[in-house]
Amino acid sequence: MKTKHGEHSNLELEAVIIVIDNYDSFTYNLVQYLGELASEFPIASDIRVFRNDKITLSEIQALNPDAIVISPGPGRPEDAGISLKLIEQLGTNLPILGVCLGHQSIGQVFGGNIVSAPELMHGKTSQVTHTGVGVFQGLENPMIATRYHSLVIDRQTCPEVLEITAWVDDGTIMGVRHRNYPHIQGVQFHPESVLTSSGKQLLRNFLQQLQSYEIS
């Protein structure tokens, strides 16, 4: 992996993953899952969590992170503190995984509308069909995913630049990946939930992909 200065970084010694906490109780479940994968992926040994209104863009840049995870949370993307600005300004050169509200933030940044979901989902499971690319590589298909959300990326206005990588039977978007910057990915469901069948493998895929990622 290249650092922001063009040199190859030592993943075991220098890697930092920043998690943006959108004031959600699931954030530390997500952090725990990532931490449990540190024995396989040393890049997950240094995970730093910041509330969405307690760190600035320049402070994030100063940490020279190798990846950013944007957590679930209440409200809409515009309520998610630094999340939108982070995607807008750092996404082209930094792997980002958005979960739930983080996923919606990715959709909004690139031009999609965020609308009410057909059904309020609170701890419900659904069968999710996916394309098998990005974080979905090698996962069972369909997979069982746990959903906690009342908003979604509107399929009708989802921009062409975002590839729809996962969905449920009614067409609701469950995953996206940027076509030009495939290191920007989002999932609407909660991979950190124990009821999500391949959640840890999805996060393992994200970490695996970091090891081959290079900034252009």
Helix (H) or strand (E) holding 173: strand 173-178
Q: How far apart are CA 179 and CA 85, in angstroms?
A: 20
Q: Chain-centre distance of CA 136, in angstroms?
A: 12
Q: Which residues pair with 69 in a beta bridge?
A: 19, 97
Q: Which residue has the tokens 């996206």?
A: 176
> Nearest-5° angle of CA 213, CA 190, CA 132?
50
Vertex 113: Cα angle to 170 and 124 (nearest 5) = 40
Tokens representing 52 are 């969405």
Enumerate residues 6+ apart whose C-beta is below 8 A from 140.
197, 198
- Active-site residues, by number, are 100, 190, 192
